[in-house]
A and B are shown apart, each in its own frame.
Chain A
Amino acid sequence: MSLYLFQALNGIGLGMIYFLISVGLTIIFGLLNFVNFAHGAYYLLGSYLAFTIVSLSGNFWLALLLAPIVVAALAWVTEKTLIQRAYHLPHTFHILITLGIALIIQELSISIWGPIGKTVAAPPSLAGVIQLGDFFYPKYRLFVIAFTAVIALALWFLLERTRFGALVRAGSEDAQTVSLLGTHIHKLFALTFALGVGLAGLAGVLAAPIRGVHPFIGPEVLGLAFVVVVIGGMGSFVGALVGGITVGLVQSMMTTLWPQGASLMIYGAMAIVILMKPYGLFGRA
């Protein structure tokens, strides 16, 4: 019993990290109609920056604050210099450009941090386990669940209850009309891209103490994020949340039941959703 509870909690924690990655991907696609294949690479960068900041300062909290901001700032610069020029082009160009960015980030990471993986320690205050009766669970993983839940709420508030969020939603319906109302559409696009990518960076920081950092994780993360988005529906916040947790739970449960079958189950779940609801569980046509 407690083994299943353990795996369920692991799955939720993992799923919330997948949510953070995918929600960024989905917001960017929704507003900018832009496919970001560099999303996994920015996650990777978040993890490595966390490693460096923790190594230098010994302070995980500093990494949690700074690394996503640096990743978002970098994304903003990339948007301004490169990505902005590609919005009007077909999706194949988006894929080429962002795959290029992903490779650059990955190869630079290898030359800076080396080809061998790194570990990042959880902060001392969250080291060890928490005990409830005869059930033990790592404190850090509980923290991840709570923290990502707060981030998810804040993000929901930002998207559903602020003017910025209304503009993002309006823009995903019709960007030209948003311009006609006097909104600086290029700023809105750049900010949204930076926000979405910054969330991937944040996910990278949070995952680092659990999964470590290694330079080839980008494509795997990207693949999972796409699965989540396909299951949940492109452009849907709730879809990213439900899809993320579903994938996290399936992955985690499968590690006790049939580890080799984890990927099979995830892609199987995706296939079923595509067959039954081509636009995903919460997607709009």
Chain B
Amino acid sequence: MKLEINGIHSYYEKSHVLEGVSLQVNPGELVTLLGRNGAGKTTTLRSIAGIVKPAKGSIMFNNEELIGREIFDIARKGVLLVPEHRGIFGILSVEENLAIAVRSSSRWSLADIYEMFPRLYERRKNGGNALSGGEQQMLAIARALVNDPKLLLLDEPTEGLAPVIVDEIVRILQKIRSAGVSVLLVEQNLAVCEKLADRHYVIEQGRVVYSGSGEQFRQEQEIKNRYLAV
């Protein structure tokens, strides 16, 4: 299950946000997409998921073109976006949030999820709007897992979370990767990225300006200063 993005150009109305982004996620890889605020990370993920329609370029998943497909159609291929705002349904219970996503083909059943996230089991009868930020993020990831993911697109999963919760999420991402699911991770927390990733991309003003392996990236103080320092 390989993702190959080739020179996509995406717009919001008239503003040209992605100016030829190309990147790859090989089967089973965890790849990060880094960059400053407004660089185009979220837009890249939204373009893959079908929310934003690129005007040019191609997005091949498993040798099928994703551009032009409907959002749900892309999701059904196992390309699942966990959005920045998490998208938890406040008027649904935790269990209902999961239940509407359950697909029998997934290797994670509801029971597996509750074992993996004991906190969600405790809170299964609670409304989605009663959850803390960390619980919402866990639920958003859990919901993608029961939905039979082949490629997870995660948009800043640790944003605004306490360090213990961040560790918890790192542990979960390691589990997901070892289950063979590919991950494209957008993340500001460099420590988290370096702990997890096989490869990194850095994006700046809608273009990929750097790519390298985990090991290479560790040495790249210059790149980090130029593109990632706040």
The judgment on whether A and B are partners is yes
Q: A163 — which chain B residues lie within 8 A by C-beta? A: 99-100
Residue in contact with B71 in the complex, picked from A166, A167, A179, CB distance below 8 Å: A179
Encode contact with B along A180-221: 1 for CB under 8 Å, 0 otherwise. Answer: 111111000000000000000000000000000000000000
Residue in contact with A173 in the complex, picked from B75, B81, B89, CB distance below 8 Å: B89
Known: A163-B100, A167-B100, A174-B87. A182 touches B75 (CB 8 A): yes
In the complex, are the beta carbons of A182 and B91 less than 8 A apart? no
Most chain A CB within 10 A, of B76, B96, B143, is at B96
A263 CB–B CB distance under 8 Å: no
Encode contact with A along B69-104: 1 for CB under 8 Å, 0 otherwise. Answer: 011100110001101000101111000110111010
In the complex, are the beta carbons of B49 and A180 less than 8 A apart? yes
Q: B89 — which chain A residues lie within 8 A by C-beta? A: 169-170, 173-174, 177
Nearest B residue (CB) for A174: B87
In the complex, are the beta carbons of A173 and B100 less than 8 A apart? no
A166 and B143 CA atoms in complex are apart in Å by 14
In the complex, are the beta carbons of B70 and A173 less than 8 A apart? no
Give the contacts of A133-183 with B (CB-CB under 8 A). Answer: 163, 166-167, 169-170, 173-174, 176-183
Q: B55 — which chain A residues lie within 8 A by C-beta? A: none
Give the contacts of B90-123 with A (CB-CB under 8 A). Answer: 90-92, 96-97, 99-101, 103
In the complex, are the beta carbons of A182 and B72 less than 8 A apart? yes
Nearest B residue (CB) for A187: B72
In the complex, are the beta carbons of A182 and B87 less than 8 A apart? no
Nearest B residue (CB) for A179: B71
Q: A176 — which chain B residues lie within 8 A by C-beta? A: 51, 71
In the complex, are the beta carbons of B70 and A181 less than 8 A apart? no
Most chain B CB within 10 A, of A170, A177, A181, is at A181
Give B residues with C-beta under 8 Å from A: 49, 51, 70-72, 75-76, 80-81, 83, 87, 89-92, 96-97, 99-101, 103, 143, 147
What are 21 A-to-B residue pairs whose CB atoms are below 8 Å? Answer: A163-B99, A166-B100, A167-B100, A169-B91, A170-B96, A173-B90, A173-B92, A174-B87, A177-B83, A177-B87, A177-B89, A179-B72, A180-B49, A180-B51, A180-B80, A180-B83, A181-B80, A182-B80, A183-B72, A184-B72, A185-B72
